[in-house]
Amino acid sequence: MKNSKRLSVDYHFFQLASISSRYYAVKSGGREISMVVLEAFINEEALMKNKIHIFGASGSGTTTIAKNICEQINYKHFDSDNYLWLPTEEPFTVMRPKEEYLSLMGDDLNNNEKWILSGHVSFGFVDVYLSLYDLIVFVYVPMDIRIERLKKRECERYGEEILPGNKRFEKYNDFIEYALSYDTASGGRSLEKHEKWLNGVDCPVLRIINNSLNDSINAVLEAIG
C-alpha cells in the first residue's frame, strides 16, 4: 500500500492491550493518502493491581492507608488483626489458633477479586497466600514519629486506663517497649525481618515513608494503576 505508515508496538505492551486496525483515507493537497493506523486500547482492568498487601511496623499507618484507598476505589479491606485476635471484651488479648486464623483469612482472600490486606501477617510471616499478591506495599515511619502516633492512639483507645496505677499501665508500657525495638531487633516483628522477607518475594514491591497520609495514599493508588 502506497504511503502507508505502520505503528510498531512494544511486545510487552502488546501483551497487555487489545489491538484493532482501522483503515483511513484522507486527502492532502488534492491527493488521497492511505494510512493503516494500529490502535492499542489498554485494558485498564488487566493492568490494575487487584490483590494488595500493605504492612509495616506498629504505628506505621497501614490500616489507615488501606481503609482510605479501599473507600476510594471500592476494594474490600481486610485487616490482619481481625484474623489474629479473638473478639473479646478486652481487645487484643486472646489469639486465635493458627489453623483458624489461616482459614478465616483464606476464605476472604480467595473469595474476593479486589482487596487490600493491611497489617502484619503473623505466625512467622506465613507465606501461604503470598502467591495471591499483585503488589506488596512496605510502609516505614521514623521511630520517633511512629511512637508518638502509637501513644496518641493508645490514649484515644483506652483513656485513663493506661495511666500509672491503672489496669492497662503495664500492658501499655510493654507495648511501647515492643514497638521501640522494631528498628533494632533481629527477631519477631522487626525491620530486619521485614527486609529479609521482602528480598525473597517475586511480586512488585512499593516502599513508602509515611510522613504524609495523602502522599502515601496517592503513591499506592498510582502503583495500583
| pLDDT for residue 55 is more than 60 | yes
Whole-angstrom distance, CA of residue 137 vs CA of residue 131:
15
Could you report the per-residue pLDDT of 173-211, keeping only the tens digit for each? Answer: 999 999 999 999 887 789 999 998 899 898 999 999 999
pLDDT for position 162 = 92
* DSSP string over the chain: -TT-------HHHHHTEEEEEEEEEEEETTEEEEEEEEEEEE-HHHHS--EEEEEESTTS-HHHHHHHHHHHHT-EEEEHHHHHB---SSSS-SBPPHHHHHHHHHHHHHS-SSEEEES--HHHH--TTGGG-SEEEEEE--HHHHHHHHHHHHHHHHGGGGSTTSTTHHHHHHHHHHHHTTTT-SSSS-HHHHHHHHTT--S-EEEEE-S-HHHHHHHHHHHH-
Q: Given pLDDT bands bounded at 50, 70 and 90, which one contains residue 16? A: very low
User: What's the confidence (pLDDT) of residue 9?
Assistant: 33
pTM, full prediction: 0.76
pLDDT at 78: 97
- pLDDT bucket at 11, cuts 50 / 70 / 90: very low
Please give the pLDDT value at position 152. Answer: 95
Most confident of 41-45, 158-162, 192-196, 217-221: 217-221
Rounded Cα gap, residues 101 and 103, in angstroms: 6
The whole-chain average pLDDT of the chain stands at: 81
Q: Can you give the pLDDT at residue 15?
A: 34
| Contact indicator for 18, 41 with CB cutoff of 8 Å | yes
Name the residue with higher pLDDT: 12 or 124: 124
Please say if the pLDDT value at position 17 is more than 50.
Answer: no
List the domains of the chain with CATH numbers: 11-45 (no CATH), 48-224 (3.40.50.300)
64-90 pLDDT per residue, tens: 999 999 999 999 999 999 999 999 988
- pLDDT score recorded for residue 126: 61
pLDDT of residue 46: 55
Greater confidence, 140 or 2? 140
Task: Say yes or no to pLDDT of 31 above 80.
Answer: no
Q: How far, CA to CA in Å, does 34 sit from each of 8, 27, 52?
A: 17, 9, 47
208, exposed or middle or buried, with CB in 10 Å at 0-12, 13-18, 19+?
Answer: buried
Q: State pLDDT tens for residues 92-140.
A: 889 999 889 889 999 999 999 999 999 988 545 567 888 999 999 999 9
